[in-house]
Chains A and B, each alone.
Chain A
Amino acid sequence: MTDAVDFLVPRDVIVAGGGNAALCAAIAARRAGKRVLVLEAAPKFYRGGNTRHTRNMRCAHDHATDTLTGPYTEEEFFDDLLRVTGGNTDQTLARHMIHLSKDMLTWIQEQGVRFQPSLGGTLSLGRTNSFFLGGGRSMLNTLYRTAESLGVDIAYDAEVVGLDIDGGTCRALTVRQGGADHRVETPVFVAACGGFEANVEWLKEGWGEKAENFLIRGTPYNRGTVTRMLIDGGMQQIGDPTQCHAVAIDARAPKFDGGIITRLDCVVFGVVVNKHAKRFYDEGEDIWPKRYAIWGRLVANQPDQIAYIVFDAPNLERFMPSLYPPISAPTLAELATKLDLDPVAFMAEIQGFNAHVVGGKPFDHTEPDGNRTEGLDIDKTNWAQKIESAPFYAYPVRPGITFTYLGVRVDAQARILMADGTPSDNMFAAGEIMAGNVLGQGYAAGIGMTIGSVFGRIAGEEAAAHV
């Protein structure tokens, strides 16, 4: 905790949250001349929720820039969104956001944020996504500096634990800081405090005991406390409550906040087996990023929520270096022992796989290459290569939860709607807490930041106009 914030000083707008959406809302409201207080539940170092692990945002633009390789029209953005969500989106709201995303590129740079060309290994995003110089935490630091220099008050370790909601009006909040609860009255409330991905008890409601074995890719502070209170307070919920975005990450990663660096995207180079040494899904089904996004869920449904990506020597340097080295052994049997798998079953599975590899075409992991197996219960339909050259390698993987979809419904002014569909009086929402309006399922790189920035700015401006 740094500078103590006086909760008794009257404010015009109170923002719960401390990430991209919260800061955009706070800055927009402050620029409209309002007195703004930001309540960040995390300590200062961990401020910013998932924003600290992001690296880019997806905004529509009509022309190439010095950091974007070509145009990305509103229409194309909309088509991409329809595709990744399978149509599970509020189309009016989505079009509204995409339209405003164009100006966001300028607005966010006016707040001091700097872009750079797309990072190495992400050339596929070089046209559509704007990368933050130094990544998400660097971007956040800039937004915080800007907010502070404008005179926004920021309280850390300040969790909103109570909402006094009267009909459609939020009268006051209860803020817990340093073990003491403070009642803070507010003319307007902006909820921009993320999802509940770090709340394992809540995840269990959708996933059962499996959730105990999930790793959380962000900080432990994304607990969804405000989401729950808003829904309980009569606001309309949106998004599948049982779903979350999950990818396969290294099982050796810490329980929380391993971020992006624990990811493993190398299933195409080998096979994936479960704790019984059995394959369970076609590793050659699809290319990145769709492949990346399904394996978390696949592993979640395996016994003990663990799996092993197994490959051999020629593939070791075909993908980005990993945080933890792969487990290696000179023979498959020894590898099985190291992984605590039954060597007999493991050998049988790999040899069975090898015997059914048809292959024959040049291996090319950048597109479906037609090298497949034939005759297995679960064939690998692309990139099938025999696993035969020592040493052999494996990565243990577990589901890594990135974000949740459940949130509250909003309108185009980012105003939270009540269960009966009527707008609340003085409550707005931005960011992950309302992402489900636009992103009902699936994911497209950088879209979470678009939702946060665009709806954050709307919420801030609308909140300011309300006071």
Chain B
Amino acid sequence: MSDAGAPILPHATPMLAEADRLMTVCNSCRYCEGICPVFPAMELRRAFHDADLRYLANLCHNCGACHDACQFSPPHEFDVNVPQVLAKVRNDSYAEYAWPAALQPVFRRNGLWIGLGFLVVVSAFLLGMIVVHGGDLFTAYLHPENFYALMPHNVMAALFGAAFLYMLVAIGMGALAFWRDLAGGAPAAIDLARAGHQAARLTHLDGGGPGCAGNEGQGGDPRKLWHHLTFYGFGLCFAATCIATLYHYLLGREAPYPYWDLPVVLGTLGGIGLVVGPVGLFLAKMKRPAHLWDTESRGMDVAFIAMLFATGLTGLLLAFLRHTPAMGPMLVLHLGAVMTLFLTMPYGKFVHGIYRGMALARNAWEQRRAGH
């Protein structure tokens, strides 16, 4: 570790101390000001407390452009690697803000935990359907109630509703802790709109225009497309589920729905996004130069990508195989994937969207207040 920019403030971890050092070096240079909002946000500060660093880390989109532009990146003795150090601080922050605190260690061997979780949930569903409910996995497709011959609709709604609510509470508690750490800030509608726009378009993956590093400067970051497919695919699937729930309770229309109906159309389109997007993200991650990201987070990153992929793939297969004996096993796998996804959202890579969104909102507010 270089002594250039060596921190004066105390820090909770060596990685936060290193982030302070880097921000001190960068603040005396400022060449990267036009690349992304991390650097203008840094310039509003002269000292970097842990909360500032976690904020800056979550504002960083890991495009990597600042690393390639830096005169002082390794092997220079100043050893400046902002994308990687902020990625480590960011990944640590997910655990630090997680609720309840007892589950923070889940972030450490995240891939293993989420994999085990999936196994446990699928096994529980199998047991429930066969032993408790007395269903037959391979003949249920012949039953007039179809899916619900294996798991009654009310049970399904109750289980998933409860999991969803738990997820909201747990993520909300983490978000609250992050917001408190940011010490105030009062984003107005315009700030939220700006942050929302930037998040929806992934504006800051552009490296200020020329595109991300590790992409040989060949224009846009390919991860942007994959992320859009994943994000909007997830959104469509979620919308399909919500509409189906409304159909059921408000209109009394029960699944299965015809192919042309909204839940199926949206779910199919979303499912395709959730299959293609995660594959692209996974391949992009495998190709990404190791020095630009936190390779220790590989398990967490891949686990989240894998759960999204599993959700999308099993959902599509369920839709296409629902009139075959494979319907039962596919239902178990799909419900297992969705349930695991919900339950592990607060303890995995999903939270990156929450904290980054909040960092963008905070940034929009503080930059507007600074008159920029």
Q: Which of A's residues lie within 8 Å of B, judged by CB? A: 45, 52-53, 55, 112, 114, 116-117, 119-121, 131, 133-138, 141-142, 145, 254, 257, 259-261, 317, 320-325
Determine which of B5, B32, B34, B216 lies in contact with A117 in the assembled complex, contact meaning CB atoms within 8 Å: B34
Contacts of A55 in B (CB 8 A): 31
Could you tell me if B8 and A141 are in contact, using CB atoms closer than 8 angstroms? no
Within 8 A of A (CB), among B60-81: 65-66, 68-72, 75-77
User: Given A45-B75, A134-B31, is A324 in contact with B4 using a C-beta cutoff of 8 Å?
Assistant: yes
Bitwise, B185-220 to A at CB < 8 A (1) or not (0) is 000000000000000000000011110000011000
Give complex CA distance A52, B29 in Å: 13
Could you tell me if B72 and A116 are in contact, using CB atoms closer than 8 angstroms? no
Could you tell me if B69 and A137 are in contact, using CB atoms closer than 8 angstroms? yes
Give complex CA distance A320, B30 in Å: 10
Contacts of A137 in B (CB 8 A): 68-71
User: Given A133-B34, A323-B4, is A259 in contact with B217 using a C-beta cutoff of 8 Å?
Assistant: no
Contact sample, A vs B, 7 pairs, CB 8 Å cutoff: A131-B34, A133-B35, A135-B31, A137-B70, A141-B217, A321-B28, A323-B24
Determine which of A119, A131, A145 lies in contact with B217 in the assembled complex, contact meaning CB atoms within 8 Å: A145
- Does B27 belong to the interface (CB within 8 Å)? yes
| Interface class of chain B by DSSP | loop
The 6 closest A-B pairs by CB, nearest first: A135-B31, A134-B69, A116-B34, A138-B69, A261-B28, A323-B28
Could you tell me if B71 and A321 are in contact, using CB atoms closer than 8 angstroms? no
Could you tell me if A121 and B30 are in contact, using CB atoms closer than 8 angstroms? yes
Give the total of B residues in contact with A, Cβ under 8 Å: 34
- Chain B residue nearest to A218 (CB atoms) is B71
- Chain B residue nearest to A131 (CB atoms) is B34
In whole Å, how far is B287's beta carbon from the nearest beta carbon of chain A? 18
Within 8 A of A (CB), among B6-48: 6, 8, 24-25, 27-35, 40, 43, 46
Determine which of A45, A116, A317 lies in contact with B33 in the assembled complex, contact meaning CB atoms within 8 Å: A116
Within 8 A of A (CB), among B73-101: 75-77
Bitwise, B204-245 to A at CB < 8 A (1) or not (0) is 000111100000110000000000000000000000000000
User: Given A114-B210, A134-B66, A323-B5, is A119 in contact with B77 using a C-beta cutoff of 8 Å?
Assistant: no
- Chain B residue nearest to A146 (CB atoms) is B217
User: Given A133-B35, A134-B65, A135-B69, is A325 in contact with B30 using a C-beta cutoff of 8 Å?
Assistant: no
In whole Å, how far is B34's beta carbon from the nearest beta carbon of chain A? 3
Contacts of A138 in B (CB 8 A): 31, 65, 68-69
- Chain B residue nearest to A132 (CB atoms) is B31
Could you tell me if B29 and A261 are in contact, using CB atoms closer than 8 angstroms? yes
Give complex CA distance A321, B217 in Å: 31
Give complex CA distance A160, B209 in Å: 37
Give complex CA distance A325, B9 in Å: 12
Could you tell me if B43 and A136 are in contact, using CB atoms closer than 8 angstroms? no
Give complex CA distance A138, B29 in Å: 14
Give complex CA distance A120, B367 in Å: 13
User: Given A261-B29, A324-B5, is A142 in contact with B210 using a C-beta cutoff of 8 Å?
Assistant: yes
Contacts of A117 in B (CB 8 A): 34
Contacts of A116 in B (CB 8 A): 33-34, 208
